[in-house]
Amino acid sequence: MFSEPFAQLNANEIFDIYKEPLKEAPQLDVVFENYLVLVNQLKNDFNGLRDELEHHKKIHGEIADSLDEFFTIQRLSSIITQSLEYRQIVANLDEIAIKVIPHTDSEVFLFDNEILTPVSENLKSDFTLLIHNMQEEGILDWLWEQAHPIVVPLSDFVIRDQLSFQSGNVVIAPMIQNQEALGVYLLHTEKEQAQFSFRDLELLNILTQQAGIGIQYTRLYKSLERTHEALKKSQTSLMQTIKLATVGELAGGIAHEINNPLQIILGNIQMALMGFKTEESLKIVETQAMRIANIVRGLLSMAKQNNVSATEYLEINPLILNTLNLVRSQIEKRGIEIKTELAEKLPVVQGSSVYFQQILLNFILHSKKQIGKQGSILIRSEMVDSEWIQLELVDSGVPMPMEYIDKILDPFENMDNSMEMNLGLTVSVQMLHDIGGKISINSVKDTGNRIVMQIPKYGKRGENDQSVLSTG
């Protein structure tokens, strides 16, 4: 083998070294010359392969780095979409960012009513001091304009002596979405400022913006939750208002219902005072007083707050009869006949008596309006299978057109005509859904309307079934 200095020589230089010795052995001249040519060729091939290898290493190294960055970003994006808590998003960000920029401490500050508020519970006072200082110096405003992380040595801060951090740098990454400043990500690192590459800061910027997307999505989600809760409260208030309006509609009929037994009571009291049929009169008074008490009890029940989560053990048939007692007088005085076909044996169900009564009452009053005068209302109950009780209400009133039924199902589709819709009926459909029930409405020309409600025996059953609305 050649020594290292010798290996650096080309074929001609080697030939010059051995030129004089070869004169004494001419027969080796040609062999040695061919050998040197071969060595020179091998050296050229070796250098070419070495350059090619370095080129491939460079290319593959850049590809590997790019793939690492890509998968890092993909991983963070996947984690963020699975989290709807600020602290978890920040924890995920920090877990991956530390692999890009090793750091000892970090914190994310988010705007809350225009005030930068830390996300972590265990906040280091250094970060609070740094944030206040950067706000006063205008550094943060400039940072959000640049929209890119910066590295600032601790020694550059005027509050350096107040910090517990003894050395190193602070990396400041702005958190921006749709040109809106969401907050800032601070990292304390011992890595020297000169060692930061553009790639380090660019990757940190991408990760920070990915976290910003997660934070913005979480804010929208929480805002939607608050809106949903407000809507639920408004819906409850609307139901109560409609229920009180229904009580007002019942007032005339209830006054008549109470007045009749009162007249009977007063008459029997007068008879008793005169000494006629005292015991019999007392029994009549007791019966009529109980009748009044039942009417008042039903009216008070109607005025209670709706509570879909209330669980009582209910008998459907007595509930139907009690509801009919509230409206029987005002319906029958219009010449409308009330018929009932109630199954003899129905199981006790779990639910809210207030809900059931409100739903049924609204449907009965709606049938009364459709009939006007002279007609009939039939209420039928039966067990359709082991889990569902079916209530059927058939009236001889004016058939409801399909457009009217559509408004009951979707009252906000045609806002211009929404006032024409029976809001009480719409709310009753929603209330039936709330308890896990199903409903179908079928209107047939020249015949009337048929409303079929199915109530689950064991309370709400998962997702509500869609109502079936049809017209003939």
As a 3-state breakdown, the chain gives helix, strand, coil percent values, each rounded to 5, of 60, 20, 20
Residue 431 has pLDDT above 90, yes or no: no
User: Which two structure tokens, joined as six digits, stand for 472?
Assistant: 């003939």
Bridge partners, 394 (sequence order): 378, 450
Residue 174 has pLDDT above 50, yes or no: yes
What pTM was estimated for this model as a whole?
0.46
Mean pLDDT of 293-306: 62
Q: How many whole angstroms separate alpha carbon 11 and alpha carbon 7?
A: 10
- Element housing 234 (H / E): helix 198-273
Note the Cα 423 to chain centre separation in Å.
Answer: 28
What pLDDT does residue 11 have? 54
Cβ contact 81:215 at 8 Å: no
Bridge partners, 438 (sequence order): 454
Strands in 329-437 per DSSP E: 336-342, 349-351, 375-383, 388-395
Residue 199 has pLDDT above 80, yes or no: yes
**105-112 and 115-118 beta bridge pairing:** antiparallel
What pLDDT does residue 6 have? 47
Cβ contact 316:346 at 8 Å: yes
Residue 181 has pLDDT above 80, yes or no: yes
What pLDDT does residue 418 have? 42
Residue 15 has pLDDT above 60, yes or no: no
- Residue 277's contacts (CB-CB under 8 Å, 6 or more residues apart) are 271
For residues 191 and 254, the model is more confident at 191
Cα-only R_g, the chain: 44
Q: Is 448 left (phi over 0), alpha (psi -120 to 50) or beta?
A: left
Q: Which amino acid is at 417?
A: N
Cβ contact 46:70 at 8 Å: no
Lowest mean pLDDT among 13-27, 123-137, 398-412: 13-27
Mean pLDDT of 424-442: 80
Residues 220-266 pLDDT 10s: 888 888 888 887 777 677 666 666 666 665 665 566 567 767 777 88
What pLDDT does residue 465 have? 44
